[in-house]
């Protein structure tokens, strides 16, 4: 088993497309092409079977490692490869100064929540984060991850308590977070919207 960072973006994104669909592959590719995200590729006996698109979001108050997409080819699911990929991504972003990690998923994606929970992530609804740490934390997380209102956040602090990490996320500069959101979420959406009108 080999995990390559920035190995082969096209292959990594094809795995995301087969696993999650063309919509997600489009956003993954857009983040990579914008120079925000990098890819990880997991190979078994030389064959690519899983991939991730990740980035370090420097929010000023905190550097947040974002697990934007994690995908495992269908026939290889349930064998612990997703865990290896997430841990490899954490290691890579940790070397660059990540103070914590975050991923988002839809509320009905039990497999994703179980994967991240097994690695020490805390699964939180946006409502729970907003009530406890303020709605600015929610806004900053949604924008930093290109999340959706029906998502849940899976958060893992490094060297601090969960509450402290969420306070730092809440304190992040709005301009910095908005610039990131524009590059990874809004501009790609705008290209799609203009193309469909």
Residue 25 has pLDDT above 60, yes or no: yes
98 with 65: CB under 8 angstroms? yes
CA pair distance 193, 197, nearest whole angstrom: 6
pLDDT for res 61:
87
For the stretch 59-87, pLDDT in tens is 998 999 999 999 999 999 999 999 999 99
Residue 13 has pLDDT above 70, yes or no: yes
CATH topology (fold) of 2-175: Aminopeptidase (3.40.630)
CA pair distance 78, 57, nearest whole angstrom: 29
User: Average pLDDT in the 156-175 region?
Assistant: 95
**Runs of H (alpha helix) within the chain:** 9-20, 22-33, 81-94, 110-118, 126-133, 135-145, 162-170, 174-181, 187-196
pLDDT for res 7:
63
Residue 48 has pLDDT above 70, yes or no: yes
Residue 124 has pLDDT above 70, yes or no: yes
pLDDT for res 150:
81
Residue 169 has pLDDT above 60, yes or no: yes
Give the domain ranges of the chain: 2-175
List C-alpha distances in Å: 169 to 31, 49, 108, 131, 135.
21, 33, 25, 15, 11
The pLDDT confidence band at residue 119, using thresholds 50, 70 and 90, is very high
Residue 197 has pLDDT above 60, yes or no: no
Q: What percent of the chain has pLDDT over 90?
A: 90
The pLDDT confidence band at residue 4, using thresholds 50, 70 and 90, is confident
pLDDT for res 1:
78
């Amino acid at each position: 088993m080999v995990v390559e960072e920035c190995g082969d973006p096209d292959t990594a994104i094809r795995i995301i497309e087969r696993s999650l669909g063309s919509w997600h592959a489009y956003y993954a590719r857009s983040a990579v092409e914008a120079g925000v995200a990098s890819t990880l590729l997991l190979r078994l006996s030389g064959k690519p079977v899983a991939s991730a698109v990740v980035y370090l979001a420097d929010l000023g108050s905190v550097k947040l490692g974002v697990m934007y997409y994690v995908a495992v080819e269908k026939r290889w699911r349930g064998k612990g490869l997703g865990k290896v990929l997430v841990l490899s991504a954490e290691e890579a972003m940790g070397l660059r100064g990540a103070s914590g990690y975050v991923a988002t998923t839809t509320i009905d994606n039990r497999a994703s929540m179980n994967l991240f929970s097994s690695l020490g992530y805390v699964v939180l609804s946006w409502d729970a984060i907003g009530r406890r740490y303020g709605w600015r934390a929610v806004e900053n997380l949604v924008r930093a991850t290109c999340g959706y209102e029906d998502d849940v956040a899976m958060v893992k602090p490094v060297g601090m308590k969960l509450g402290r990490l969420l306070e730092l996320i809440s304190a992040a500069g709005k301009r910095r977070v908005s610039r990131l959101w524009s590059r990874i979420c809004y501009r790609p959406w705008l290209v799609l919207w203009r193309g469909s009108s």
